[in-house]
């Protein structure tokens, strides 16, 4: 359930490279030496995927765990295979030239990912207007909303209202089941109370009759 | 002599009734001339009543029998669900049994509704005594309660089964987490293709890292492939992307629609749960009223008894002078007796 990075890019027409407008990444769970390379990886993949996403389309790409790598142009080093344990899904959403790309792991539900990308795009358009259309190079200023979004939306329920509603409804249902059980137990207790109270009323009636009998029978002595 | 059954209680006084009928019959037997005449007149309508009532009784007994069978099947299902281990999971049987029980319960529901309709139609006719209508109402209520208990047990069994399955899933994942996550991926090699520039500028990076630590395993694939594969894969990947595009849009929309459907059905279930809850609470309210009445009767009785006893005490204490006088008289008589004898 982890978001590794969120990117906003401007997807120019096919000829040129997409331009990165905002970038937020969380690489803390990779090893120290891998962090910078992961960041590069994120940038690179984001550009590639964004450039290949047609406008007003959504796309998901999976990067699997094992990927061999070959070193070719280095004399003295024979090609070797190194396997990565990276499991990443890249979700991209292109909307009229403005692209949002998210890097998540495979537990993150796809639907929440796309609704999150939607929100990010809306927010970006709200805060930056149309200024991004003229961007020609990668902007390196961090956009605080994106970093905060990255932190907030690690839990997919935050991004996807439907998921949140479904979760709350399930909790409510569980609570209601417990309530019904306790109401049934209450019913049983009430039944036992009814029994006891009817016995009590019988006993008190007998008591009254006895008392009346002793009173009315012998007047003197 | 009161039989406890779910939430309604009734007294079984059939034996007393039969005794009374016998005694009445014996007492009325001398006047037997009048009786058959009257009987003949009412026989037609009474037989019809009997037929109607016996049909009601037949249906009710059939429903009760079906409820018994369903609860037996349910106990079997509960045993099956409880004993599932990780390996030999009788999923097939459990599924079949679940489906069968569900069908039976819905059939019983409809049958019970028919019974209710029949009863209300019978109550519409005038030649029914008050006792008959209360009896039929009680029977229908009892059957409804039993069906509700059975349904509740069914739900409990299903919850237990889902919990078991979740536990099994977790255990299975613990043991085979590696195996399940690996998946073949047609899109592995698509990245290096577009940005050769990026690849070249990161070229010095990988092997420098690689020499420094063996764990720099992320970078390798970026370097990737030699020159022959990229072109081929670029076209391949584009095709695959195109093919993947439309189904992905559909999948996205479908998943949203499905999520909405789930939410809607959950809300419906919640609605039914709430109505059941309200019914139960109102029924229990009646019981509480009865308890209250019983307690008031008890209070009145005890107060009456207390006043009687108080009066008795008063009479006892106020009569003492009279009693002392009587004792004196008695002792006087005793003295006289003693005088005479001795």
DSSP string for B3-48: EEETTEEEE--HHHHHHHHHHHHHHHGGGTTHHHHHHHHHHHHHHH
Arithmetic mean of pLDDT, A119-147? 75
- pLDDT tens readout for residues A179-206: 999 999 999 999 999 999 999 999 999 9
The pTM of this model reads 0.47
The whole-number pLDDT of residue B244 equals 59
Judged by CB atoms closer than 8 Å, whether chains meet at A197 and B255 is answered as no
Query: Which residues of chain B neighbour A68 with C-beta distances below 8 Å?
Result: 220-221
Task: Enter the DSSP assignment of A182.
Answer: H
Q: How far is A139 from chain B (nearest CA, A)?
A: 17
- Position A2 pLDDT exceeds 70: yes
Of B9, B297, B308, the CB nearest to A211: B308
The whole-number pLDDT of residue A219 equals 59
Q: How many residues does chain A have?
A: 221
The whole-number pLDDT of residue A190 equals 94
CB-CB contact of B174 with B37 (8 Å):
no
Highest-confidence range of A96-100, A137-141, B205-209, by mean pLDDT? A96-100
The whole-number pLDDT of residue B201 equals 40
H-assigned helices in chain B:
14-28, 34-82, 91-124, 130-175, 177-181, 191-194, 196-201, 204-212, 220-223, 228-318, 320-341
Over chain B (342 residues), the average pLDDT of each successive run of 10 is: 49 86 84 47 54 75 86 85 66 82 86 83 68 83 86 86 83 65 41 40 42 41 42 54 61 85 93 94 94 94 92 82 85 94 82
Judged by CB atoms closer than 8 Å, whether chains meet at B218 and A60 is answered as no
- The residue ranking higher by pLDDT, A16 or B41, is A16
Query: Which residues of chain B neighbour A88 with C-beta distances below 8 Å?
Result: none
Judged by CB atoms closer than 8 Å, whether chains meet at A51 and B194 is answered as yes
Please state the domain extents for chain B.
50-175+253-289, 290-341
- Give me the architecture of the B50-175+253-289 domain, per CATH: Up-down Bundle (1.20)
Q: How far is A68 from chain B (nearest CA, A)?
A: 6
Of the ranges A22-31, A99-108, B54-63, which one carries the lowest mean pLDDT score?
A: A22-31
Q: How far is CA B295 from CA A45, B47, B251, B286, in A?
A: 79, 44, 65, 14
Of B187, B210, B249, the CB nearest to A61: B187
Q: How many residues does chain B have?
A: 342
As a whole-number percent, the residues of chain A with pLDDT over 70 amount to 83
Taking only Cα atoms into account, the Rg of chain B, rounded to an integer number of angstroms, comes to: 42
Q: How far is A125 from chain B (nearest CA, A)?
A: 23
Q: How far is A63 from chain B (nearest CA, A)?
A: 6
Task: Enter the DSSP assignment of B83.
Answer: T
* B120–A contact, CB cutoff 8 A: no
- pLDDT tens readout for residues A50-72: 888 777 778 888 877 533 333 33
The whole-number pLDDT of residue B305 equals 92
CB-CB contact of B199 with B219 (8 Å):
no
* B324–A contact, CB cutoff 8 A: no
Q: How far is CA B205 from CA A36, A216, B198, B217, in A?
A: 10, 115, 11, 12
Of the ranges A118-127, A137-146, A147-156, which one carries the lowest mean pLDDT score?
A: A137-146
Judged by CB atoms closer than 8 Å, whether chains meet at B270 and A173 is answered as yes
Of A51, A64, A191, the CB nearest to B188: A64
The whole-number pLDDT of residue B299 equals 94
The whole-number pLDDT of residue B124 equals 65
Judged by CB atoms closer than 8 Å, whether chains meet at B301 and A208 is answered as yes
In this prediction, does ipTM exceed 0.90?
A: no
Q: How far is A180 from chain B (nearest CA, A)?
A: 6
CB-CB contact of B150 with B70 (8 Å):
yes
The whole-number pLDDT of residue B228 equals 44
Of B181, B249, B276, the CB nearest to A180: B276
């Amino acid at each position: 359930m982890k978001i590794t990075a969120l990117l906003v890019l401007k997807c120019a027409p096919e000829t040129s490279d997409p331009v990165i407008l905002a970038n937020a990444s969380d690489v803390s769970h990779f090893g120290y030496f891998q962090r910078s390379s992961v960041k590069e990886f994120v940038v690179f993949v984001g550009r590639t995927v964004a450039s290949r996403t047609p406008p007003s389309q959504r796309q998901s790409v999976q990067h699997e765990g094992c990927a061999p790598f070959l070193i070719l142009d280095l004399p003295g080093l024979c090609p070797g295979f190194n396997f990565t344990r990276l499991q990443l899904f890249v979700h991209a959403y292109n909307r009229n030239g403005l692209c949002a790309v998210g890097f998540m792991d495979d537990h993150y539900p796809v639907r929440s990912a796309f609704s999150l990308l939607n929100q990010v795009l809306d927010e970006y358009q709200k805060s930056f207007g149309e200024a991004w259309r003229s961007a020609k190079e990668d902007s390196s200023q961090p956009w605080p909303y994106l970093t905060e979004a990255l932190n907030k939306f690690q839990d997919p329920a935050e991004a996807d209202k439907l998921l949140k509603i479904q979760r709350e409804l399930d909790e409510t249902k569980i609570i209601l089941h417990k309530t019904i059980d306790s109401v049934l137990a209450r019913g049983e207790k009430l039944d036992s109370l009814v029994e006891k109270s009817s016995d009590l009323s019988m006993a008190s009636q007998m008591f009254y009759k006895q008392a009346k009998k002793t009173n009315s029978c012998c007047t003197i002595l | 002599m009161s039989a406890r059954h779910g939430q309604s209680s009734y007294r079984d006084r059939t034996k007393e009734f039969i005794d009374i009928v016998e005694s009445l019959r014996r007492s009325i037997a001398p006047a037997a001339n009048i009786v058959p005449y009257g009987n003949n007149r009412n026989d037609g309508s009474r037989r019809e009543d009997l037929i109607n009532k016996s049909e009601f009784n037949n249906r009710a007994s059939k429903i009760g029998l079906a409820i018994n069978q369903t609860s037996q099947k349910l106990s079997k299902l509960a045993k099956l669900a409880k004993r599932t281990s990780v390996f030999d999971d009788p999923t097939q049987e459990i599924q079949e049994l679940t489906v069968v029980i569900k069908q039976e319960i819905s059939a019983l529901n409809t049958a019970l509704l028919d019974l209710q309709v029949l009863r209300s139609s019978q109550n519409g006719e005038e030649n029914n005594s008050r006792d008959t209508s209360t009896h039929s109402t009680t029977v229908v209520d009892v059957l409804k309660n039993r069906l509700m208990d059975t349904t509740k047990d069914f739900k409990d069994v299903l919850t237990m089964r889902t919990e078991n399955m979740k536990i099994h899933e977790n255990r299975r994942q613990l043991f085979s987490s590696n195996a399940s996550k690996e998946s073949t991926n047609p899109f592995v090699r698509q990245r290096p293709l577009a940005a050769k520039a990026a690849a070249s500028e990161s070229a010095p990076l990988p092997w420098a890292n690689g020499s420094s630590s063996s764990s720099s395993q992320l970078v390798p694939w970026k370097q990737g492939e030699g020159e022959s594969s990229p072109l081929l894969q670029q076209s391949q990947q584009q095709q695959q992307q195109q093919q993947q595009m439309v189904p992905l849009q559909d999948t996205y929309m479908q998943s949203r629609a499905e999520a909405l459907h789930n939410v809607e059905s959950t809300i419906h279930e919640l609605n039914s749960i709430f109505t059941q809850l309200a019914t139960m609470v109102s029924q229990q309210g009646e019981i509480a009223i009865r308890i209250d009445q019983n307690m008031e009767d008890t209070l009145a009785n005890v107060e009456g008894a207390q006043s009687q006893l108080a009066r008795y005490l008063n009479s006892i204490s106020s009569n003492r002078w009279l009693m002392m006088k009587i004792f004196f008289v008695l002792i006087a008589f005793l003295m006289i007796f003693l005088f005479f004898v001795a």
